[in-house]
Amino acid sequence: MYCLNPIRWCAVAVSWGCLVCSAQSLRQEADHAEVLIGTAVRPSQLSEVNYASTLAREYNMIEAEDAMKWWVLRPDRASFDFRQGDELVRFAESHGMKVRGHCLVWGRYNPEWLTQGHFTTDQLSHLLHEHITNVMKHFSGQVFAWDVVNEALDENGNVRDSIWYNQPGIGISAKGTAYIEQVFRWAHEADPHALLFYNEAEGEGMSRKSDAVYAMVKDLRQRHVPIDGVGLQMHIPVDLDIEKRATELRANIARLTALGVHVHITELDVSVPIDTKGNSQAQDLKRQADVFRSIVRACLDNRGCTAIQTWGFTDKYSWIGSHSHGTRGDALPFDRTYAPKAAYRAILQELSAGRGSRELHTSP
């Protein structure tokens, strides 16, 4: 039973497994700043009281880290397993949170039965259309926005080789981004009320890749393809030029929202160097807070940037350690004991400063 109150002070019987909730939170400040503050979530951790209480208190939006990907939802060709996704939806509904869906189409982390099935292009087209339709209809009215296509472009802005594009693809690989257009149209048919996003990594600044994303979205919008937003992932290291990164991010958000689409920061984490014992340096955590601050501010400076989401919220469960082979970590606003870090306070301060100060902008 979920019985956490994310908004008001609450004292609930210990026998119910609930904690006392604090009055100040990221979600309260985000509500006042008219922006969504979210995080990626694993349903297996919801049974941990500190995890669930912090999540419910601090965030007004959640996204499935893995629970809505192909390899979880579709264990074999004949069946769908929605149990993990449904658990996240129930948690969100019981705590007044929105749910982002992630992700319908990606060239990576697909189940072996699919990648090794030697399907023809016609068969793959049918399987993909069927998957999008079944998943979106199942979560219709519960998931307000979907990452429809994830990481479809390479570092040079070219369409990335994948099972959906050209290996063997769904039959339209000769037409560049045509398969991306097709899946957006299928997604809109399945749930006309959901916001549909293209989500990309390493495309938040001004670069060849971000130029390609902009050009693709502009083309899709001009031809009335139902794309509503762009997700900027932002897995970034602390050792970067903060001012340059923030300036480029602000410019990129501005040109994307000028096309009439939303921008979401979707997978933000800021990794710092750690030693062999897993410890980071105080000066790196201070600089990390400055990076988080600059990114939140860049989003709040444009009313078309409507959500800020981190990839997890506690260092206890961050993917950064394993991904970096133990050389980087401590990338999130809460430490391993769920204590708020300087990064948390920086986000909170920027959200508080964002009350009533967001520049005039016609929302998408």
pLDDT(18) > 60: no
CB 34 within 8 A of CB 72: no
Neighbouring C-alpha atoms within 13 Å toward the C-beta of 46: 25
pLDDT(354) > 90: no
Average pLDDT over residues 137-141: 98
- Residue 221: its pLDDT value, please? 98
pLDDT(10) > 90: no
- Residue 4: its pLDDT value, please? 54
pLDDT above 70: percentage of residues in the chain:
91
Q: Are strands 328-329 and 61-64 parallel, antiparallel or unpaired?
A: unpaired
pLDDT band for position 329 (cuts 50, 70, 90): confident
Q: Using the structure block, give the residue that is written with the tokens 């009215």.
A: 141
Average pLDDT over residues 93-114: 98
pLDDT(314) > 50: yes
176: left (phi over 0), alpha (psi -120 to 50) or beta: left
Average pLDDT over residues 172-196: 95
pLDDT band for position 22 (cuts 50, 70, 90): very low
Q: What residue spans define the domains of the chain?
A: 23-353
- Residue 325: its pLDDT value, please? 83
151: left (phi over 0), alpha (psi -120 to 50) or beta: left
Catalytic residue numbers? 151, 267
Going from the C-alpha of 272 to that of each of 9, 99, 299, 343, 347, the distances in angstroms are 34, 29, 22, 12, 17
The token pair that represents 242 in the structure block = 């903060």
Summarize pLDDT for 66-88 with one digit per residue, the tens. 999 999 999 999 999 999 999 99
- Residue 12: its pLDDT value, please? 34
- Residue 214: its pLDDT value, please? 98
Average pLDDT over residues 192-212: 97
Domain 23-353 in CATH 1.10.150.120: no
